[in-house]
Amino acid sequence: MIDKIYIEKLKSNFSEAVRVILANKVRTLLTSLGIIFGVAAVITMLAIGNGAEKEILAQLELVGVNNIVITPIPDEKENENEEESEAGGIVAKRFSKGLDMLDVASIEKNIPSVKTVSPEIVLETYVIKKGRQSPVKLIGVSTDFFSTSNITIESGKNFSRAQTENSLPVCVIGKKIEKKLFTGESALGKQIKVKDVWLQVIGVIEEKFISENAQENLGIRDLNQDVYIPIRTFLVRYKDRKIISDKPLPEGNVMIFGDQQGPKKKIPRGNYHQIDKLVVQVNNSTELNATADVLSRMLKRRHNDMLDFEISIPIQLLKQQQKTKQIFNIVLSIIAGISLLIGGIGIMNIMLASVLERTKEIGIIRAIGATQEDVILQFLTESVLVSIGGGIIGIFLGIFASYLLELSTGIETILSLNSILLSFFVATLIGLIFGIAPAKSAASKSPIEAIRHE
């Protein structure tokens, strides 16, 4: 019986709250603006945070947690490797052999903290299919490349030691290459012609999504569009920059020799490095910095004290990027919190004004038997309904803003049910907290004085 009476009271309070709100539509909307924008900001912030977290985890998977990346620095500036002699002539400072397979062997042999070393050579070339050429990146890699780069071979297998040592014409291709060249059928066991060499497909890697940010910030290629061959096959059958050719050298990077009397002689160098990238995986992430320091000193010594390489630790770059995004999310959280606070204050102010406007009404309902608890419940219901209405509008606005942000900026946003429920809960809580003071103010009025109020 008591429960039934309580339910009837709730229904009565709810219908009265709806009546009051509908009677003041514009005022209610303006009151709830703070809640609307605050909830929308919370949903958008959480969507951006979820998207950023997913991207960071995906990039970590691509670069590897314990990896160190070494990239060569070609001679791109004419005077970078020059100095003036005592006689006044210009001479080359030093000669470096560049990053090569001998460095790979030396790292594997001499640094105990190193787990694997994965060299890469990249050649932009073309694949021929039915007489038509399509651009492709040909990558010379070691057998450790796929495990070091966290790449899964979806079908087929990795290069065997015999295939690598004997420079056999075999390849593993990206998923997009298979779809492009072998539409609707498996590429395994079939031949593709890359430039002038026929290669047998022995494996196809699992397709991976790689964002433009990852490609730009971390130097990651779109792995799905590459053709991978054993590095020895690459050096024997395609290109080895350490082999001296009788072909004319390209114009551009030069070493200059000469003196005051004789003319200067320019000898182009260009990219003299045998390999284009070297990924070193260490046994433990705590050894990353120490190993990077040892690698730097070793390679500098092997390259005749020439700093013609660059060492980076991708996980540290990602952590810095993650820290920046966290700061951004904190700023958004503060903005959302301020909006919700302003919304709560707005609700409290409008409810206090409503109490003053309805003083006589409060006196009448108190005089006919309503208790203080009934009055408090009535005004709390109105306050909560205003904030819930603002919260619902804010949820739709936040969902729309998240999609609009992703479409306009390319920033990935991920909406979750938890973020929507959290926003709705916060909106309800704001209405409850900031409605308490007006409700108590209304309930504390004396019925007789309230009825006399004009």
> pLDDT tens digits, residue range 338-375?
877 888 888 888 777 777 777 777 777 777 767 777 77
Q: Are residues 262 and 351 in the same domain?
A: no
Instruction: Tell me if 103 sits within 8 A of 278, measured CB to CB.
Output: yes
pLDDT confidence of residue 40: 87
Mean of per-residue pLDDT scores for the chain: 77
pLDDT tens column, 416-437: 888 888 888 888 888 888 878 7
Q: Whose CA is closest to 340, among 259, 262, 398, 407?
A: 398
pLDDT tens column, 227-272: 999 999 999 999 888 775 545 444 444 444 444 444 444 444 567 8
Q: Whose CA is closest to 284, among 33, 431, 112, 43?
A: 112
Q: Are residues 227 and 283 in the same domain?
A: yes
Q: Are residues 149 and 8 in the same domain?
A: no
**Of the residues 276, 295, 313, the one at which a domain ends:** 313
Q: Are residues 132 and 156 in the same domain?
A: yes
Q: Whose CA is closest to 443, among 379, 378, 376?
A: 376
Instruction: Find the mean pLDDT for residues 372-383.
Output: 78
Region of 236 (left: φ > 0; alpha: ψ -120 to 50; beta: rest) is alpha
Structural domain including 26 reads: 2-59+320-452
Q: Are residues 91 and 231 in the same domain?
A: yes
Q: Are residues 144 and 284 in the same domain?
A: yes
pLDDT band at 131 (very low <50, low <70, confident <90, very high): confident
Residue 261: both structure tokens together: 């009397």
- The count of domains in the chain is 2
Q: Are residues 250 and 272 in the same domain?
A: yes
Indicate the DSSP class of residue 75.
Answer: -
Instruction: Find the mean pLDDT for residues 22-50.
Output: 81
Q: Are residues 263 and 184 in the same domain?
A: yes
Instruction: Tell me if 189 sits within 8 A of 200, measured CB to CB.
Output: yes
pLDDT confidence of residue 374: 74
Q: Are residues 335 and 446 in the same domain?
A: yes
Residue 43: both structure tokens together: 């949903």
Q: Are residues 332 and 185 in the same domain?
A: no
**Of the residues 295, 313, 331, the one at which a domain ends:** 313
Q: Which residue has the higher pLDDT, 317 or 138?
A: 138
pLDDT tens column, 274-291: 888 888 888 887 888 888
Indicate the DSSP class of residue 150.
Answer: T
Q: Which of 192-206, 270-284, 323-337 has the highest mean pLDDT?
A: 192-206
Residue with structure tokens 């900026």? 409
| CA angle, residues 357, 32, 47, in degrees to nearest 5 | 165
Residue 27: both structure tokens together: 């005022």
Q: Are residues 220 and 97 in the same domain?
A: yes
Give, in order, the Cα–Cα distances in Å from 114 to each of 42, 253, 267, 291.
Answer: 44, 34, 37, 8
pLDDT confidence of residue 20: 72
Give, in order, the Cα–Cα distances in Å from 251 to each of 80, 263, 269.
Answer: 16, 18, 9
Instruction: Tell me if 412 sits within 8 A of 211, measured CB to CB.
Output: yes
**Of the residues 263, 279, 313, the one at which a domain ends:** 313
Q: Are residues 44 and 88 in the same domain?
A: no
